[in-house]
């Protein structure tokens, strides 16, 4: 027969374990829901349109699932951007929609995968939120360049931005060092 003290100890330990298990389950469920919401937003906003390289076949350009959201491929060398004639045509893009040229220069879409060296692998949630909120590289560097619509995505609330980041942590890491942006022709 167990003593009263031991019985109480067992009850307390069981209760604590249940509480911890419950908390863990709840955290996991919350994280899963957050990842799913992030996936939903990334899909609905069309982030892959520009951030995922394309393959080309009879049906035209298709997103390459092996390079999902990995940005402009480092091994795709592009000639200087075309010079547009005077008139209303203002910017141009490559066939993958991963490189864009306009009055700001030439920009290349970023690697959003969790690769530590070339993607967002070393970023913290607050770095990502700050980047989208203030439109600056790494949250505090040079301005993000067109056509990244950060003034619009900055309207997402914190929970949505954290959800996007949570989802981006779950996609496969792709090692791809995206080129640095180029200045406008003749500006330097």
Partner 1 sequence: MTTLATLLGPLVQLVQLVQIALLGAPADELPKRLADTGLYADFAAGTLAADVMTFSPQYPLWTDGAAKCRYLRLPPGTTIDATRPDAWDFPVGTKLWKDFSFGRRVETRFIERRADGWTFASYVWSEDGSDAVLAPERGVRGAARTVNGTRDDVPSRYDCVACHQAGASPVLGASALQLSSDRDPLALHAEPARPGDVDLAELVRRGLVRSLPQALVDAPPRIAARTPRERAALGYLHANCGHCHNRSEKSGPLRQLGLDLAHPPTHAPAAAPAPAPALATTLDVKSQCKAACGEGAVRVAAGDPDRSVLARRLATRDPLLQMPPLGTRVVDEQARELITAWIREELAPAAPAAPPASIPPSIPPHKE
Cα distance between residue 54 and residue 61, in whole Å: 6
Chain centre distance of CA 183: 24
Q: Is residue 126 at the binding interface for partner 1, with CB under 8 A as the rule? A: yes
Q: What φ, ψ does residue 124 adopt, rounded to 5°?
A: -100, 160
Judged by CB under 8 A, the residue of 36, 63, 64, 127 near partner 1 is 127
Q: Which is nearer to partner 1, 58 or 151 (CB)?
A: 151
Stretch of 30-38, 51-59, 132-140, 168-176 lying at the interface with partner 1 (CB under 8 A)? 132-140
Q: Is 64 in the site for partner 1 (CB under 8 A)?
A: no
Binding mask 96-115 for partner 1 (x = CB under 8 A): ---------x----------
Nearest to 113 by CA among 185, 174, 45: 174
Nearer to partner 1, 54 or 108 (CB): 108
The minimum distance between CB 187 and partner 1, in angstroms, equals 7
Q: Tell me how far CA of residue 54 lies from CA of 31, 72, 135, 183, in angstroms.
A: 30, 10, 26, 25
Nearest residue to 113 via CA among 178, 172, 184 = 172
For partner 1, the binding residue among 8, 32, 95, 140 (CB under 8 A) is 140
Angstrom distance (rounded) from CA 10 to CA 119: 48
Q: Which long-range contacts (CB under 8 A, 24 or more apart) does 76-84 make?
A: 78/106, 80/185, 81/106, 81/182, 81/185, 83/185
For partner 1, how many residues bind (rule: CB under 8 A)? 28
CB of 58 to partner 1, least distance (A): 35
Positions that interact with partner 1 (CB under 8 A): 19, 22, 105, 116-117, 122-124, 126-127, 130, 133-134, 136, 138-143, 154, 179-183, 187-188
């Amino acid at each position: 027969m167990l003593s009263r003290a031991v019985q109480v100890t067992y009850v307390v330990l069981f209760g604590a374990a249940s509480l911890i298990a419950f908390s863990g389950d709840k955290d996991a469920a919350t994280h899963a829901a957050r990842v799913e919401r992030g996936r939903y937003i990334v899909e609905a906003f069309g982030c892959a349109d520009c951030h995922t390289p394309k393959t080309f076949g009879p049906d035209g350009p298709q997103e390459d699932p092996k390079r999902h959201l990995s940005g402009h491929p480092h091994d795709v060398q592009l000639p200087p951007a075309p010079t547009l004639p005077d008139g209303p045509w203002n910017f141009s893009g490559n066939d993958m929609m991963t490189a864009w040229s306009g009055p700001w220069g030439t920009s290349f879409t970023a690697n959003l995968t969790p690769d530590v060296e070339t993607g967002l692998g070393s970023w913290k949630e607050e770095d990502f939120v700050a980047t989208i909120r203030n439109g600056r590289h790494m949250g505090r560097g040079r301005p993000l360049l067109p056509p990244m619509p950060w003034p619009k995505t900055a309207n997402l609330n914190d929970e949505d931005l954290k959800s996007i980041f949570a989802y981006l942590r779950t996609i496969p890491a792709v090692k791809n060092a995206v080129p640095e942006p180029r200045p406008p022709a003749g500006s330097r």
